[in-house]
């Protein structure tokens, strides 16, 4: 029996945290910082099941962006309480822009696990 077959199946939560395949819970979804694998390197599951599949990830990226903006605004107003609110809000924009690649990455992972394969 191979070492892969002897390993216990990871939990769905661990697979999400490790950005792993929604089918086998083992294969890496991303090959690099921004480059997604087309298929799971372990089970061969095709990640983009149909054209436009990841449009659903937008429903997840929106609340993630709101959390980033809220935490940024809270941190800025905590560090500089005398700053005007309009300037504090304006300072959250660069933070969000820098974190957009991570938000997209996590929203895709969460979307794939929210809508797991049915095969």
pTM of the entire structure?
A: 0.81
Mean pLDDT for 85-111 is 95
CA distance 105 to 47: 13
Compute the distance between CA of residue 83 and CA of residue 76 in angstroms, rounded to an integer.
8
CA separation, residue 66 to residues 69, 71, 91, 93, 109 (Å): 5, 9, 14, 11, 18
Q: Indicate if the alpha-carbon torsion angle 25, 28, 34, 35 is positive or negative.
A: negative
SS (H, E, C) 17-39: HCCECCCCCCCECECCCCCECCE
Q: How does pLDDT run across 35-93, given as a tens digit for each residue?
A: 999 999 999 999 988 888 889 899 999 999 999 999 999 999 999 999 999 999 999 99
Cα-trace Rg, the chain: 18
- Residue 81 backbone class (left: φ over 0; alpha: ψ -120 to 50; beta: rest): alpha
- Sorted by where each begins, the domain ranges of the chain are 3-114
Q: Could you tell me which of 38, 42, 39 has the C-alpha nearest to residue 25?
A: 42
pLDDT: is 55 or 116 the higher one? Answer: 55
Spatial separation of the C-alpha atoms in residues 27 and 25, rounded to whole Å: 6
């Amino acid at each position: 029996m191979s070492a892969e077959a002897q390993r216990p199946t990871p939990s769905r939560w661990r697979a999400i945290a490790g950005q792993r395949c929604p089918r086998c819970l083992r294969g890496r979804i991303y090959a690099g910082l921004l480059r997604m694998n087309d298929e799971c390197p372990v089970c061969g599951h095709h990640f983009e099941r149909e054209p436009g599949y990841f449009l659903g990830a937008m429903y997840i990226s929106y609340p993630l962006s709101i959390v980033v903006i809220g935490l940024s605004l809270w941190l800025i107003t905590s560090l500089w309480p005398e700053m005007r609110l309009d300037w504090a809000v304006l300072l959250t924009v660069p933070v969000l822009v820098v974190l957009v690649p991570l938000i997209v990455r996590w929203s895709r992972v969460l979307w794939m696990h929210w809508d797991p394969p049915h095969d």
